[in-house]
């Protein structure tokens, strides 16, 4: 018998490019994945635990619980489930993620490694202080970096995220007014362009929110602000650079006016990435500012958290910080102050001492860059945004004249009369392999498209994005509305019906819902 | 700098395309006096991986990892074994480095995880609906109280003395600044508080914890009925999620809102954070909930998919009229929780809970045999309180020097008082020899 020497075909036999309907519904690497509850097999388990030793129950009078309804899967099934789900996500690891105001930059893996050192990850928050000196030292060192970078007098690491930091800042402002017996201040001024969290925070703290209009050039209307300042104003909440991606040129004058009225100046530090290492907020007259470690200092967003929102305070607000905080004794030992007592400190704002895992990552990031590298971060972030602005301004409509800071803002005037919307452009970008920009925010321009590339994008990546966006703008102007309205077509799911989701909310799986569905079919 | 891809040549050509000669010109809107001419002083310059690793490892080396010694700390943070699979999957870049799923077509992974997480939390707590997570258990508790205030249009919360003091303080901080009243009952290590006596026509809710901070297991069914009769909501806090594998869930006791800490599943101790707040309610309260919610829907081709929904409750739409200012939550910690629970499944979760209880019973018996030690609890799950003949804080320091992390002095949690009480937890990670070492060392220092 002779050997079969034909071998497997190596050429391309058929160049038919149509996407086939498959039997499974899978499409190559895109695999349909049922809910974990639909993969249950009773008695199957993904862990091997010993059976509990026989003891007399000490549970007291409550009745032991019956079946919960959790699905049983073996470990390989669980691994496959979450791996397949992960493959339905876009991420900064996969490509450009230019969400304005979100600072989606590269997340270094060194930071992940450091946060998982047993000396940080496997330490209980209530261990005796003598056994956690390194953890307290790390918190003090992170605080020192943040205070130095901002030029501010005091830092709290307690808040769990940016909005929590805002709450902390407004509480400090309230405390300071209260300490002076100045209780007639019932308003917080917030520009129209602010993040939604700003008015939500001020209102949650019992303040009336007064909106400050923007000028034609995208900044706070100084005259309108001055007209609203008075003995009833507790403070101003301003984002700088603002959500239009612009530096508030009059910021020092604004700070002076706020202070002259006896109010405090809160800065939303969500956009600190634009100026880190180049400008110290203290030099602008700011009294209190939160910093999103998950933006400027690259702790991963994790699909929506966890974040961390340290707050820095000027000399005048420095006494009004929440507990706990770290102090260093004369002998060099670190100590936690956990009770507010009768002093000006207040709190607490959450359990334990803050988002330690995020502190480690942020400090690793800061040390990696150093003072020189952080300055370069701001330079490159601003350069990248201005480059996009320059390359797109003839086919799209910039809302304001540049230069911009770390993000560039366009409105939808370039789409006028085309029938194509900002949303359509975003969805078509998805088919081109990009995450869309922030849409319809800030609210001060029509159909906003807010683009923040960050400093960790290469020029080649920006050029590819520009090419795609320019082509889409041209295509929109050519009147190809159907193309846009059908987008995206190449994703695991196409446009989803959000109206139906809200009208009759289905917020969990349950056997009953499944039965209903079958009955309906 | 290894994280910055632009070359000098790139920068030059980009500046040219922009039409400026230097990057400094792009900062021209910054007031001149505030522009720094060089790197900020007082901070080190950039470092390689090796140097950063060395510096931070040195800091980490000054801490005593709980897993390196017999450790019995709980009080709201529990050391459990986390299967290797959990951390491996959590570190997939598609989960780790994605943003909040605002573009559902490219976020179905995160969204399906959230939908499954919401379902798991609903099942564990015995409630109808759960949200996509809060910062931690304590902030979830404070949000639950504020939600009860909205629902009942009343402004007074009654907080049990068995509530974890950090949860109590987080709630009272909000009360002070947001403007509502709290009645915090004194700590009741032996039980016997009369919460109902404090409930009147202004009371929006009663907040209890199960097991409570001293470890007692309680049945709140009657309290729930009494609250309902007086128009107040029952909020049940759970700080040890593993207990839900064995105890009657809050939903079956008549809880209106459950605020819990989910750290025990999938999440390391991390010196206190990040953790994951669980928040679950009865169906009729859904639209008053804080935080993100994921819901099921159909796509343009009629296929099942998931989206963030009911966002008209949230700050980015409602601004000053939002139900909460929360935006970022604890997405990745929720993922870790969900993966761990998926690995455990029905059988594994129940077994883990039984194992925890048995370990605690064994430990209680061993400690009770030490002269001068008295077990305070009549009932407990995996944590209980012991009364010592010496101040617990001193005993804990002494035992730490002997390489044993003995528990949490009640005086530390409560900021004074209760000096002789030590709160002790045991989990599946504690071996019999750990327990013997603890009992022996305790006998020596007493």
Domain boundary among B299, B318, B339: B339
Mean residue pLDDT of chain A comes to 94
Mind listing the pLDDT tens digit of every residue in chain B (446 residues)? 999 999 999 999 999 999 999 999 999 999 999 999 999 999 999 999 999 999 999 999 999 999 999 999 999 999 999 999 999 999 999 999 999 999 999 999 999 999 999 999 999 999 999 999 999 999 999 999 999 999 999 999 999 999 999 999 999 999 999 999 999 999 989 888 999 999 999 999 999 999 999 999 999 999 999 999 999 999 999 999 999 999 999 999 999 999 999 999 999 999 999 999 999 999 999 999 999 999 999 999 999 999 999 988 777 777 777 778 888 889 999 999 999 999 999 999 999 999 999 999 999 999 999 999 999 999 999 999 999 999 999 999 999 999 999 999 999 999 989 999 999 999 999 999 999 999 999 999 99
Kindly indicate the confidence band of residue A193, based on its pLDDT and cuts at 50, 70 and 90.
Answer: confident
From CA A433, how far away is CA A488, in angstroms rounded? 10
The answer on pLDDT for A517 being more than 60 is no
The chain B residue lying nearest A507, using CA atoms, is B295
pLDDT for the residue numbered A461: 98
Q: Which residue has the tokens 């196409």?
A: A494
The alpha-carbon gap from B246 to the nearest alpha carbon of chain A, in Å, equals 6
pLDDT for the residue numbered B192: 83
Average pLDDT over residues A173-200: 94
Average pLDDT over residues A159-182: 96
The answer on pLDDT for A516 being more than 70 is no
Stretch among A55-64, A454-463, B418-427 having the lowest mean pLDDT: A55-64
Among the partner residues A91, A137, A427, nearest to B97 by beta-carbon distance: A91
The full DSSP string for A335-389 is EEE---TTSS-B---SSTTS-HHHHHHHHHHHHHHHHHHHHHHHHHHHHHHHHHH
From CA B245, how far away is CA B348, in angstroms rounded? 9
- In this structure, are B103 and B215 located in the same domain? yes
Q: How many CA atoms lie within 13 A of A44 on its CB side?
A: 15
Q: Which domain holds residue B98?
A: 84-339
Cβ–Cβ < 8 Å for B384, B364: yes
Cβ–Cβ < 8 Å for B85, A401: no
Average pLDDT over residues A97-114: 97
Within-domain flag for B3: no
Over residues A385-419, the pLDDT tens digits come to 999 999 999 999 999 999 999 999 999 999 999 99
The alpha-carbon gap from A16 to the nearest alpha carbon of chain B, in Å, equals 23
B368 touches chain A (CB under 8 A): no
Within-domain flag for B420: yes
- In this structure, are B78 and B123 located in the same domain? no
Is this complex scored with an ipTM above 0.95? yes
Determine, for residues B95 and A89 on separate chains, whether the beta-carbon distance falls below 8 Å: yes
Backbone angles phi, psi at B49, to 5 degrees: -55, -45
CATH number where B365 lies: 3.90.1150.10
B267 touches chain A (CB under 8 A): no
Strand order in the sheet with A154-156: A154-156, A311-313, A288-290, A264-268, A233-239, A187-191, A208-212
Closest to A296 in 3D by CA, of A322, A277, A318: A277
Kindly indicate the confidence band of residue A515, based on its pLDDT and cuts at 50, 70 and 90.
Answer: low
> Distances in Å between the alpha carbon of B259 and those of A238, B121, B237, B327?
33, 11, 5, 18
pLDDT for the residue numbered B316: 77
**B216, two tokens:** 């007692």
DSSP state, residue B395: H
- In this structure, are B217 and B331 located in the same domain? yes
Over residues A303-356, the pLDDT tens digits come to 999 999 999 999 999 999 999 999 999 999 999 999 988 889 999 999 999 999
- In this structure, are B88 and B71 located in the same domain? no
- In this structure, are B147 and B192 located in the same domain? yes
**A259, two tokens:** 């202070």
Kindly indicate the confidence band of residue A63, based on its pLDDT and cuts at 50, 70 and 90.
Answer: confident
A166 touches chain B (CB under 8 A): yes
Within-domain flag for B38: no
The alpha-carbon gap from A125 to the nearest alpha carbon of chain B, in Å, equals 4
Q: Which residue has the tokens 């809160």?
A: A266
- In this structure, are B333 and B370 located in the same domain? no
From CA A282, how far away is CA A288, in angstroms rounded? 9
Q: Which of residues 206-235 of B touch A (CB under 8 A)?
A: 216-219
From CA A94, how far away is CA A96, in angstroms rounded? 7
Domain boundary among B320, B339, B358: B339
> Distances in Å between the alpha carbon of A101 and those of A191, A295, A404, A409, A454?
16, 9, 13, 11, 10
CATH number where B141 lies: 3.40.640.10
* CA dihedral (B300, B302, B306, B312) positive or negative: positive
Q: Which residues of chain B does A160 touch, with a Cβ-Cβ cutoff of 8 Å?
A: 135-136, 139, 273-274
> Distances in Å between the alpha carbon of B223 and those of B159, B229, B253?
13, 10, 9
Within-domain flag for B14: no
- In this structure, are B335 and B440 located in the same domain? no
Over residues A261-278, the pLDDT tens digits come to 999 999 999 999 999 999
Within-domain flag for B92: yes
B245 touches chain A (CB under 8 A): yes
- In this structure, are B75 and B187 located in the same domain? no
The answer on pLDDT for A77 being more than 90 is yes
If you classify domain A112-366 with CATH, what class do you get? alpha beta
- Which one of B40, B49, B286 would you mutate to disrupt binding with A, by most A Cβ within 10 Å of its Cβ? B40
The chain A residue lying nearest B126, using CA atoms, is A68
Among the partner residues B108, B320, B345, nearest to A203 by beta-carbon distance: B320
- In this structure, are B277 and B351 located in the same domain? no
Domain with CATH 3.40.640.10 in chain A: 112-366
Q: Which of residues 396-435 of B touch A (CB under 8 A)?
A: 396-397, 400, 405, 408, 412-413, 415-416, 428
Please state the domain count of chain B.
2
Backbone angles phi, psi at A241, to 5 degrees: -50, 150
Domain boundary among B300, B322, B339: B339
pLDDT for the residue numbered A12: 67
From CA B190, how far away is CA B374, in angstroms rounded? 12
B292 touches chain A (CB under 8 A): yes
pLDDT for the residue numbered A196: 87
pLDDT for the residue numbered A186: 97
Largest CA distance in chain A: 104
If you classify domain A381-495 with CATH, what class do you get? alpha beta
Q: What pTM does this model have?
A: 0.97
Over residues A216-247, the pLDDT tens digits come to 999 999 999 999 999 999 999 999 999 999 99
Domain with CATH 3.90.1150.10 in chain A: 381-495
Among the partner residues B1, B62, B400, nearest to A369 by beta-carbon distance: B1
The percent of residues above 70 in pLDDT, for chain A, comes to 96
Q: Which of residues 124-153 of B touch A (CB under 8 A)?
A: 124, 128-130, 132-133, 135-139
Cβ–Cβ < 8 Å for B380, B217: yes
Burial B341-380 (b: 16+ CB within 10 A, else e): bbbbbbbbbbbbbbbbbbbbbbbbebbeebeebebbbebb
Q: Which residues of chain A does B342 touch, with a Cβ-Cβ cutoff of 8 Å?
A: 36, 46, 71, 73, 78, 81-82
- In this structure, are B216 and B256 located in the same domain? yes
- In this structure, are B259 and B355 located in the same domain? no
Within-domain flag for B35: no
Cβ–Cβ < 8 Å for A82, B89: yes
The answer on pLDDT for A255 being more than 80 is yes
Determine, for residues A82 and B92 on separate chains, whether the beta-carbon distance falls below 8 Å: yes
pLDDT for the residue numbered A3: 73
- In this structure, are B291 and B142 located in the same domain? yes
Within-domain flag for B97: yes
Kindly indicate the confidence band of residue A1, based on its pLDDT and cuts at 50, 70 and 90.
Answer: low
- Which residues pair with residue A99 across a beta bridge? A451
From CA A22, how far away is CA A209, in angstroms rounded? 55
Within-domain flag for B21: no
Determine, for residues B271 and A93 on separate chains, whether the beta-carbon distance falls below 8 Å: no
């Amino acid at each position: 018998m002779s050997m079969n020497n034909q071998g497997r075909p190596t050429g391309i036999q058929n160049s038919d490019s149509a996407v086939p309907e498959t039997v499974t519904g899978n499409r190559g690497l895109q695999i349909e994945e049922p809910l974990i509850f639909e993969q249950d097999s009773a008695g199957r388990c993904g862990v091997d635990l010993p059976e509990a030793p026989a003891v007399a129950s000490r549970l007291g009078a409550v009745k032991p619980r019956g079946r919960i309804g959790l699905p049983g899967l073996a470990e390989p099934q669980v691994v496959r489930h979450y791996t397949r789900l992960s493959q339905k996500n876009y991420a900064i690891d996969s490509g450009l993620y230019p969400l304005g105001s979100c600072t989606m930059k590269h997340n270094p893996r060194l930071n992940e490694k450091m946060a998982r050192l047993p000396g940080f990850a496997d330490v209980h928050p209530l261990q005796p202080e003598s056994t956690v000196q390194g953890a307290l030292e790390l918190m003090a060192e992170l605080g020192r970096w943040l205070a130095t970078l901002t030029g501010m007098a005091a830092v709290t690491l307690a808040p769990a995220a940016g909005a929590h930091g805002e709450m902390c800042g407004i509480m400090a402002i309230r405390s300071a007014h209260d300490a002076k017996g100045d209780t007639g201040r019932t308003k917080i001024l917030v520009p129209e362009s602010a993040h939604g969290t700003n008015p939500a925070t001020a209102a949650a703290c019992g303040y009336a929110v007064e909106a400050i209009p923007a000028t034609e050039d995208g900044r706070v209307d100084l005259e309108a602000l001055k007209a609203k300042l008075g003995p009833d104003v507790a403070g101003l909440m301003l984002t700088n650079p603002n959500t239009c991606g612009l530096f508030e040129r009059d910021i020092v004058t604004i700070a002076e006016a706020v202070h002259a009225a006896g109010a405090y100046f809160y800065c939303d530090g969500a956009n600190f990435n634009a100026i880190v290492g180049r400008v110290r907020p203290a030099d602008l007259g700011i009294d209190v500012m939160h910093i999103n470690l998950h933006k400027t200092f690259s702790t991963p967003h994790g699909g929506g958290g966890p974040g961390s929102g340290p707050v820095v305070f000027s000399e005048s607000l420095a006494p009004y910080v929440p507990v706990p905080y770290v102090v260093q004794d004369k002998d060099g030992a670190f100590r936690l102050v956990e009770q507010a007592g009768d002093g000006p400190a207040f709190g607490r704002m959450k359990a334990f001492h803050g988002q330690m895992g995020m502190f480690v990552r942020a400090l690793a990031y800061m040390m990696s860059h150093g003072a020189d590298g952080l300055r370069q971060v701001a330079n490159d972030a601003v350069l990248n945004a201005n480059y996009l602005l320059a390359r797109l301004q003839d086919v799209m409509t910039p809302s304001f004249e540049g230069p911009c800071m770390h993000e560039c803002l366009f409105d939808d005037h370039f789409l006028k009369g085309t029938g194509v919307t900002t949303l359509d452009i975003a969805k078509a970008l998805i088919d081109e392999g990009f995450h869309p920009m922030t849409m319809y925010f800030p609210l001060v321009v029509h159909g906003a498209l807010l683009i923040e590339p960050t400093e960790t994008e290469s020029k080649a990546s920006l050029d590819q994005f520009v090419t795609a966006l320019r082509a889409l703008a041209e295509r929109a102007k050519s009147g190809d509305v159907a193309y846009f309205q059908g987008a995206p077509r190449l994703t695991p799911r196409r446009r989803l019906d959000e109206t139906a989701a809200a009208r009759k909310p289905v917020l969990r799986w349950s056997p009953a819902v499944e039965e209903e569905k079958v009955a309906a079919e | 700098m290894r994280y910055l891809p632009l070359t000098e040549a790139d920068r030059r050509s980009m500046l040219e395309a922009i039409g400026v000669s230097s990057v400094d010109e792009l900062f021209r809107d910054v007031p001149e006096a505030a522009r720094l001419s060089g790197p900020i002083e007082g901070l080190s310059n950039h470092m390689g991986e090796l140097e950063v690793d060395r510096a931070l490892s040195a800091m980490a080396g000054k801490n005593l990892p709980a897993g390196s010694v017999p450790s019995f700390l709980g009080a709201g943070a529990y050391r459990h074994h986390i299967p290797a699979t959990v951390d491996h999957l959590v570190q997939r870049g598609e989960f780790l480095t994605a943003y909040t799923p605002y573009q559902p077509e490219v976020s179905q992974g995160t969204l399906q995880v959230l939908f499954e997480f919401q379902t798991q939390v609903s099942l564990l707590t015995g409630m109808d609906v759960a949200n996509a997570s809060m910062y931690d258990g304590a902030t979830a508790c404070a949000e639950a109280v504020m939600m009860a205030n909205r629902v009942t249009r009343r402004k007074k919360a009654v907080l049990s003395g068995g509530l974890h003091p950090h949860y109590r303080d987080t709630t009272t901080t909000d009360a002070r600044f947001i403007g509502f009243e709290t009645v915090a009952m004194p700590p009741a290590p032996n039980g016997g508080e009369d919460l109902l006596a404090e409930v009147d026509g202004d009371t929006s809710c009663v907040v209890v914890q199960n097991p409570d901070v001293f470890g007692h297991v309680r049945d709140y069914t009657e309290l729930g009925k009494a609250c309902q009769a007086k128009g107040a909501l029952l909020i049940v806090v759970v700080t040890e999620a593993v207990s839900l594998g064995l105890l009657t869930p809050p939903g079956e006791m008549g809880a209106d809102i459950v605020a819990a800490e989910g750290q025990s599943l999938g999440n390391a101790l991390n010196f206190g954070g990040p953790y994951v707040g669980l928040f679950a309610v009865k169906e009729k309260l859904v639209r008053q909930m804080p935080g993100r919610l994921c819901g099921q829907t159909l796509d343009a081709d009629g296929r099942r998919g998931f989206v963030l929904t009911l966002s008209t409750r949230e700050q980015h739409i409602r601004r000053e009229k939002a139900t909460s200012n929360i935006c970022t939550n604890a997405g990745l910690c929720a993922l870790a929780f969900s993966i761990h629970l998926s690995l455990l499944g029905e059988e594994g979760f129940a077994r883990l809970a039984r194992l925890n209880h048995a370990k605690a019973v064994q430990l209680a018996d061993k400690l009770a045999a030490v002269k001068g030690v008295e077990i305070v609890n009549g009932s407990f799950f995996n944590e209980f309180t012991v009364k010592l003949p010496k101040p617990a804080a001193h005993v804990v320091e002494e035992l730490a020097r002997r390489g044993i992390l003995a528990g949490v002095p009640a005086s530390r949690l409560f900021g004074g008082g209760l000096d002789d009480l030590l709160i002790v937890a045991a989990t599946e990670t504690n071996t019999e020899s750990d327990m013997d070492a603890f009992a022996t060392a305790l006998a020596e220092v007493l």
